[in-house]
Amino acid sequence: MTGKEFQPILLFALITLTVLSGCEKGKTGVHSDFNITNKDIKSVTDKLPQDIRSNIIKKPQCFLEYMERILKEPPDYTVLVDKKHALSSGYVPPGLVNIRKYHLQTTRKYSEIRRIVIPDLTAMAEAARLQGVELVIGSSYRSYAYQKRLYSYYVRTDGKKKADRESARPGHSQHQLGTTMDFSPIDDNFIKTKGGEWLDKYAWKYGFSLSYPPDSESITGYKYEPWHYRYVGRDVSFVIERYFDGKQQLFLEFYDKTKEFFKKSLRK
Ligand SMILES: [Zn+2]
């Protein structure tokens, strides 16, 4: 073998080693940073749908690698805000900024989002732009009072039943978090637009997660909203995509129930 032939093999070995080292099996248990056994992993995942559960059980050390990082992230990335879990009427997220200041396209002159979202949001918009897709934000932060007016409007116009499938009650909207946005046009056909298709494929790589996916009304309580994305950070969005079949609600409920167990199991 000549030196030239050897170089690509060496490079391949190096890349493989780098990738694998992130998920190395611990000397004891399933991950060296956690005091957790295979039996614990099986028991903590036993309420999950079978396909999701077997994905985790197959390679628990990789899953735990991500869990370790998620445990250190801001709790706002994973807090449940859904039909059953509300934010208080007085909750206003910190660090709201006008999206327009960051060369991002919006349909409104003044549209706010939390500053922590900006780096990944601008990176995502730029990546889409390079592929000829212009992402436009239609709606972002909404205060409790605004959501109250919006929900009442839908109830008056469409009746309570329809309003509850399409609009959140005050305190129950992810938009109050300041990390959630609706891309434009806010329309059932958004998924057929260039922006909708692009986000569906790539948004998770930038830490954005589709909150109300198709065929998930029994889990989320909302009909499919192809335009509504919540920023959860890149580790959480990876886990939702890779392990939880793109079902944000399932992961957030799982994390809510198990985070204390995982925290306690972390070796100091
Ligand atoms: Zn929305």
31: CB partners within 8 A, 6+ apart? 25, 60, 61, 64, 65, 68
Whether residues 67 and 92 share a domain: the answer is no
> Does residue 4 belong to any structural domain of this protein?
no
- Output the CA–CA distances (angstroms, integers) from residue 37 to 68, 115, 156, 244, 262, in the order listed: 15, 39, 54, 21, 12
> Does residue 15 belong to any structural domain of this protein?
no
| 63 CA to centre of ligand 1 in angstroms | 29
Q: What is the mean pLDDT of residues 207-227?
A: 97
| 35 CA to centre of ligand 1 in angstroms | 39
Whether residues 96 and 152 share a domain: the answer is yes
Whether residues 154 and 257 share a domain: the answer is no
> Does residue 239 belong to any structural domain of this protein?
no
Domain count, the chain: 2
107-142: pLDDT as tens digits: 998 999 999 999 999 999 999 999 999 999 999 999
Residue from 161, 141, 163, 159 nearest 150 by CA: 163
Whether residues 74 and 94 share a domain: the answer is no
Structure tokens at 209: 């997660």
Residue 261 sits in which domain range? Answer: 24-78+249-268
CA distance 55 to 250: 14
| 88 CA to centre of ligand 1 in angstroms | 19
| 134 CA to centre of ligand 1 in angstroms | 19
Whether residues 148 and 35 share a domain: the answer is no
Q: Predicted confidence band at 19 (pLDDT cuts at 50, 70, 90)?
A: very low
Residue 131, domain CATH: 3.30.1380.10
> Does residue 14 belong to any structural domain of this protein?
no
- Cut 0.85: pTM above it: yes
The mean of the pLDDT values for the chain is: 91
Q: What is the mean pLDDT of residues 43-53?
A: 97
| 131 CA to centre of ligand 1 in angstroms | 25
150-203: pLDDT as tens digits: 999 999 999 999 999 989 999 999 999 999 999 999 999 999 999 999 999 999
Whether residues 98 and 73 share a domain: the answer is no
